[in-house]
Amino acid sequence: MTEVLTPPRIVVQALAPAWQAAAEQWAQRLGLPLGEGDADFALQLGDDGLQLLQLGPDSPGPVRVDFLEGSAAHRRQFGGGAGQMIAKAVGIQQGVRPHVLDATAGLGKDAFVLATLGCEMDLTERQPIIAALLEDGLARAAGDFEVGAIVARMRLLQGNSIERMTAWEGEAPQVIYLDPMFPHREKSALVKKEMRLFRPLVGDDLDAPALLEAALKLASHRVVVKRPRKAPIIEGGKPSYSLEGKSSRYDIYPLKSLKG
């Protein structure tokens, strides 16, 4: 469950006539009105893909998923490879590239890093608009010669993560990765543009303990939880150990040894 005080008003807009038909399809899929109207957010479709814009004078600007340029491209080329903390957290080592379920995918940034390193990724994102941005970003990246091979390892699954994990069919993911939205403090609420934009949509993840419980029941080898560095552990099981960075940490719940 997430805490959303007042549902924001969202409209879908085409930024050029050529995108009108596709914008109508998104509006129908998401059950949102099309056009201008009185709204808090606009989901816009244009030459650069699908983007979400908070309307009004304090807007942090549009957010879209872009695996081809910007921070994703920089991290892919210069991010440190298998030496990155997230890689160590999920158990990447010589000869080991685990199958990972990212059950709180968001904009897919962490999943893209792991896919770049060779992991097969399943992604779930329950907020429909964020899932739409992710779907659009994956579709645009699929046509790129180099990045297309990476996103081919990323499979987006729509729906509620807890429900999907509880009713999982087929071979269980070796590792389940969780990065739940943490209840914010006012002084840190505006740090990231995405966080500022998405918090009115998704609220705080108040069901993180249930998310962890479902993950521990499904994962075959380990569960990894990303948290702000000073945040308490998620209520429930206690991690065996943690990897700590400057602003965040990874709590590790090992179930079985990952071997090549």
What average pLDDT does this structure show over 182-206?
A: 59
Q: Which residue type occupies 137?
A: G
Euclidean distance between CA atoms 95 and 211, whole angstroms:
29
**Residue 243's pLDDT is what?**
97
Taking CA atoms, 4 is separated from 39, 147, 180, 201, 256, in Å, by 17, 35, 15, 7, 37
38 annotated as ligand-binding: no
pLDDT tens sequence across 52-75 = 999 988 888 899 999 998 666 656
Cα dihedral 194, 198, 200, 205, rounded to 10, equals: -120
222 annotated as ligand-binding: no
Across the strands, what pairs with 51?
Answer: 44
179 annotated as ligand-binding: yes
- The closest alpha carbon to 125, from 161, 93, 90, belongs to 161
What average pLDDT does this structure show over 187-193?
A: 48
- The closest alpha carbon to 130, from 97, 154, 111, 108, belongs to 108
* C-alpha 250, offset from chain centre: 16
**Residue 187's pLDDT is what?**
43
